[in-house]
């Protein structure tokens, strides 16, 4: 078991959210569902997303998510960015800026293509600044537009 596990507080949707999240990432699975009573609703769901363990609690409406905590996803390609962006913003999710979004439960995600940090950290500071300026104008990150901003 990993030493530190991200713990997420939901208002009755922990099992639904865990099932949705595990459907998005290869190698993901629900590990355990603890129910309130033998056939009652889920109280706690333990699941893995791409090898990272999470716990989700149906704790009620007392606490909600905010962008101070987000899940950062290192995407290998624009296609992966597009697929995750579409799935996570569906059914009430909200787009934000610079690759950030909130899913339908209000959990913040950063859907970031691997190419972005490489373009931002290139040796030419003028090109890196052009990439930064382009990224600041985006909601979903567009790798081709970033490469064009870098003059590639």
Is 3.10.180.10 the CATH number for 65-152? yes
Dump the DSSP string for 39-97.
SS-EEEEEEEETTEEEEEEE--TT----TTSEEEEEESSHHHHHHHHHHHHTTT-EE-S
- pLDDT (0 to 100) of residue 90: 97
Per CATH, domain 1-61 is 3.40.50.300: no
Per-residue confidence (pLDDT) for residue 91, from 0 to 100: 95
- Per-residue model confidence (pLDDT) at position 41: 85
pTM for the full predicted model: 0.93
Are 1-61 and 65-152 equal in CATH topology? yes
Output the tens digit of pLDDT for each of the chain's 152 residues: 789 999 999 999 999 999 999 999 999 999 999 998 777 788 999 999 999 999 999 999 999 999 999 999 999 999 999 999 999 999 999 999 999 999 999 999 999 999 999 999 999 999 999 999 999 999 999 999 999 999 98
- Phi first, then psi: give them for residue 6, nearest 5 degrees: -70, 130
Domain ranges of the chain: 1-61, 65-152
């Amino acid at each position: 078991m990993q030493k530190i596990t991200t713990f997420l507080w939901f208002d009755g949707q922990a099992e639904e959210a865990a099932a949705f999240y595990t459907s998005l990432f290869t190698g993901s699975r629900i590990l355990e569902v603890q129910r309130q009573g033998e056939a009652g609703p889920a109280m706690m769901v333990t699941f893995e997303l791409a090898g990272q363990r999470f716990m989700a609690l149906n704790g009620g409406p007392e606490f909600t998510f905010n962008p101070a905590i987000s899940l950062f996803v290192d995407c290998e390609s624009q296609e992966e960015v597009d697929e995750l962006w579409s799935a996570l913003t569906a059914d009430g999710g909200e787009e934000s800026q610079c690759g950030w979004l909130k899913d339908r439960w209000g959990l913040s995600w950063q859907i970031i293509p691997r190419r972005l940090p490489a373009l931002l950290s290139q040796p030419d500071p003028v090109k890196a600044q052009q990439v930064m300026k382009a990224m600041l104008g985006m909601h979903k990150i567009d790798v081709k537009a970033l490469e064009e901003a870098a003059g590639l």
